[in-house]
């Protein structure tokens, strides 16, 4: 069986000593973690390794010897390094020697039973210890491939060994301990003053945030919000839903509970960066709105736009009350419906002009809420569109109810002609006998409804199209909000700046190959693709809109059932 030795590149220039690491017997592999160089006392080395094992829960032991002939005279040292195998009992005893003035290394194993150096096929794999320790190896996305999953589990053992040995890398050459190690942090422990200051400042910041969240939760749990209409508005307005969603994010960030694994840590980091960028974009939008009196210009533009929309609706209704596209409508019903909708438009124009003196003040206070984030501002825009097009929604509801009434009336009367009826208790169509009077009245009603259906259907079609146009605009806004909420910005930035932190696998590059010498490979990390990063670390989002299938949506439109812009409790979703 081939022996694989994973050797850190940072130890290639280390002084002669002994190799400590983990032996993975299932893979016949040795993961070298550090080099303990002379002078040392074997008893102290064993005691130090037992302490490391208690902390890391990894069986770290002395695996062999390391000889650097560039710095030592190997004639006097080679025998001593071989004799160390009798002190540190490990099978096999790995001997790695860096030859002087040569790029090839010699690597052999010593079997204790025969006490001879056995030349077997050995692969020497170099790896960047810092990158492997900081990286997170992700399982393959294609879980059906058994071979890929098996290879990933073998690599995971190597990555976990290095990642869980952080305590081993916390000692450097400046420590006064009896053991001198060479690893990736042996020249000095990597640290950042900015990171340490942020850690110190995060404690009072989290306490303040927790206090503010507790006050907010007390306000949200107030009984006044549980009564109608406040409870209805809180559950239906997208702004309230987004604020509740962001409050949950703040609770996750300010939680004192430590992240249990890398996934939870990445989720917290993604939420924090998403909130930070969202608020920064909201503040930029607020500064743009309050510069050069843009709020006043927006308020002055809003009333003419509303008047223009109302005028276009009046022209549309006048067209429907005539002969639209040459169609002959029922004149009496056409006039009744047209005047009914024209009266509603008149009421809407009066309402807009009544509110015109207060619109600038309302927009001024609404603009302040953009400091809560760009997503909150977009949700407010969606709610404003819903309020400004409330008359279109009312027209759609009136037309849909009238059309639905006629469609269900015609279907019920059609069953009457066939001697059927709908059984409400058993939810099925049963046979039924009708007398002559019932059939006569049913025929009259069927004829009336059938000839009035085209007029009603035309009004329903026009206002349904207008309603769908408003829903599409609001849907695009909510798609943008969901994109900002779900996009794992921290993971994407990490993939862009430090791609090795998100590892999808590894690739091996052949360095040298010579007969009689071990094959030397360089292990390089393959980063996750951007699509996999988004798929793995995307944040959960809320959606106040029902997720109907296209079949269910077309069925509702054909039968005249209302398409609500919010979810209903107990509503079945396809």
Q: Where does residue 560 fall: left (phi above 0), alpha (psi -120 to 50 degrees), or beta otherwise? A: left
Backbone angles phi, psi at 235, to 5 degrees: -90, -15
Pairing, β 60-68 against β 93-98: parallel
| Spatial separation of the C-alpha atoms in residues 281 and 100, rounded to whole Å | 60
| Spatial separation of the C-alpha atoms in residues 517 and 519, rounded to whole Å | 6
- Per the CB < 8 A criterion, the answer to whether 386 and 337 are in contact is no
pLDDT at 374: 92
Residue 106 bridge partners (DSSP): 97
As a whole number of Å, the end-to-end CA separation of the chain is: 55
How many Cα atoms occupy the beta-carbon half-sphere of 561 within 13 Å? 7
- Per the CB < 8 A criterion, the answer to whether 489 and 270 are in contact is yes
Packing angle of the helix pair 331-368, 436-486 (nearest 10 deg): 20
pLDDT at 278: 92
pLDDT at 217: 64
pLDDT at 391: 85
Residue 96 bridge partners (DSSP): 66, 107
User: For residue 7, which of 17, 19, 25, 24 has the smallest C-alpha distance?
Assistant: 19
Kind and range of the H or E run holding 507: strand 502-512
Both tokens of 417, joined, read 């002609």
- Per the CB < 8 A criterion, the answer to whether 378 and 480 are in contact is yes
Residue with tokens 């002969």: 323
DSSP reduced 3-state for 160: helix
Packing angle of the helix pair 262-289, 331-368 (nearest 10 deg): 100
Residue with tokens 């953009």: 370
Query: Residue 249 contacts by C-beta under 8 Å, 6 or more apart in sequence?
Result: 271, 274, 275
- Per the CB < 8 A criterion, the answer to whether 157 and 27 are in contact is yes
Residue with tokens 């398409």: 563
pLDDT at 493: 92
| Spatial separation of the C-alpha atoms in residues 141 and 147, rounded to whole Å | 13
Query: Dihedral of the CA atoms 33, 39, 44, 47 (nearest 10)?
Result: 10
Per-residue pLDDT of the chain (574 residues; tens, 9 = 90+): 688 899 998 888 888 888 999 998 888 889 999 998 877 888 888 888 888 888 888 888 888 888 886 554 555 566 666 667 677 777 788 888 887 666 667 787 766 555 555 556 888 899 999 899 888 888 765 544 555 556 667 888 888 888 888 888 887 777 777 788 888 887 776 665 666 676 677 667 767 767 676 666 666 655 555 666 666 666 678 888 888 888 888 888 777 777 778 888 888 889 989 988 999 999 999 999 888 888 888 888 888 888 888 889 889 888 888 878 777 788 888 899 889 989 988 888 888 888 888 888 888 888 888 888 899 999 999 988 888 888 888 889 999 999 999 988 888 888 887 778 877 777 787 778 788 888 888 888 888 888 988 899 999 999 999 998 998 898 899 889 999 999 999 999 999 998 888 888 888 888 877 777 788 899 999 999 999 899 889 988 876 555 666 787 788 888 888 876 655 444 443 3
- Per the CB < 8 A criterion, the answer to whether 403 and 458 are in contact is no
Q: What is the DSSP string of 161-182?
A: HHHTTGGGGG--TTS-SS--EE
Sign for the pseudo-dihedral over CA of 327, 330, 332, 338? negative
How many C-beta neighbours within 10 Å does residue 525 have?
20
- 520 burial type by CB count under 10 A (0-12 exposed, 13-18 middle, 19+ buried): buried
- Per the CB < 8 A criterion, the answer to whether 117 and 109 are in contact is yes
Distances (CA, A) of 539 to 80, 273, 421, 503: 58, 12, 50, 20
pLDDT at 326: 78
């Amino acid at each position: 069986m081939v022996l694989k030795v994973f050797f850190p590149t940072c130890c290639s220039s280390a002084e002669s000593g002994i190799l400590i690491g983990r032996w993975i017997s299932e893979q016949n592999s040795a993961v070298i973690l550090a080099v303990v160089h002379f002078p040392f006392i074997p008893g102290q080395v064993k005691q130090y390794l037992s302490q490391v094992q208690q902390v890391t829960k990894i069986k770290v032991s002395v695996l062999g010897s390391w000889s650097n002939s560039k710095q030592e005279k190997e004639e006097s040292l080679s025998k001593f390094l071989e004799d160390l195998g009798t002190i540190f009992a490990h099978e096999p005893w790995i001997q790695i020697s860096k030859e002087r003035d040569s790029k090839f290394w010699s690597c052999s194993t010593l079997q204790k039973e025969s006490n001879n150096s056995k030349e077997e096929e050995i692969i020497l794999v170099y790896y960047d210890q810092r990158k492997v320790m900081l990286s997170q190896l992700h399982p393959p996305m294609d879980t059906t491939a058994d071979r890929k999953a098996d290879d990933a589990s073998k690599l995971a053992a190597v990555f976990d060994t290095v990642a869980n040995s952080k305590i081993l890398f916390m000692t450097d050459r400046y420590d006064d301990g009896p053991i001198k190690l060479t690893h990736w942090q042996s020249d000095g422990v990597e640290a950042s003053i900015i990171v340490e200051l942020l850690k110190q400042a995060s404690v009072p910041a989290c306490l303040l945030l927790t206090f503010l969240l507790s006050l907010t939760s007390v306000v949200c749990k107030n009984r006044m919000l549980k009564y109608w209409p406040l409870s209805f508005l809180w559950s239906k307005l997208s702004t309230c839903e987004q604020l509740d969603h962001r409050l949950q994010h703040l609770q996750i960030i300010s939680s004192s509970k430590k992240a249990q694994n890398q996934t939870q840590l990445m989720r917290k980091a993604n939420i924090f960066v998403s909130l930070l960028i969202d608020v920064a974009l909201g503040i930029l939008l607020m500064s743009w709105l309050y510069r050069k009196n843009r709020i006043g210009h927006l308020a002055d533009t809003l009333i003419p736009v509303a008047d223009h929309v109302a005028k276009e609706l009046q022209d549309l209704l006048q067209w429907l009350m005539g002969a639209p596209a040459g169609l002959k409508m029922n004149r009496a019903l056409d006039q009744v419906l047209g005047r009914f909708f024209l009266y509603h438009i008149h009421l809407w124009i009066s309402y807009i002009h009544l509110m015109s003196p207060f619109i600038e003040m309302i927009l001024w206070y609404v603009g302040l809420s953009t400091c809560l984030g760009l997503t909150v501002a977009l949700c407010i825009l969606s709610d404003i569109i819903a309020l400004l097009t409330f008359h279109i929604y009312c027209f759609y509801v009136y037309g849909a109810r009238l059309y639905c009434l006629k469609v269900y009336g015609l279907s019920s009367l059609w069953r009457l002609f066939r001697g059927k009826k709908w059984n409400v208790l058993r939810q099925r169509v049963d046979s039924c006998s009708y007398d002559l009077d019932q059939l006569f009245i049913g025929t009259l009603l069927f004829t009336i409804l059938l000839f009035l259906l085209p007029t009603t259907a035309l009004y329903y079609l026009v206002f349904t199209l207008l309603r769908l146009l408003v829903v599409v605009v609001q849907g695009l806004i909510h798609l943008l909000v969901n994109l900002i909420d779900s996009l794992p910005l921290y993971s994407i930035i990490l993939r862009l700046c430090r791609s090795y932190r998100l590892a999808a696998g590894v690739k091996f590059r052949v360095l040298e190959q010579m007969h009689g010498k071990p094959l030397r490979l360089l292990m390089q990390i393959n980063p996750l693709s951007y699509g996999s990063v988004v798929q793995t670390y995307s944040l959960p989002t809320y959606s106040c809109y029902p997720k109907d299938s296209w079949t269910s949506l077309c069925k509702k439109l054909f039968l005249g059932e209302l398409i609500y812009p919010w979810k209903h409790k107990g509503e079945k979703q396809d």
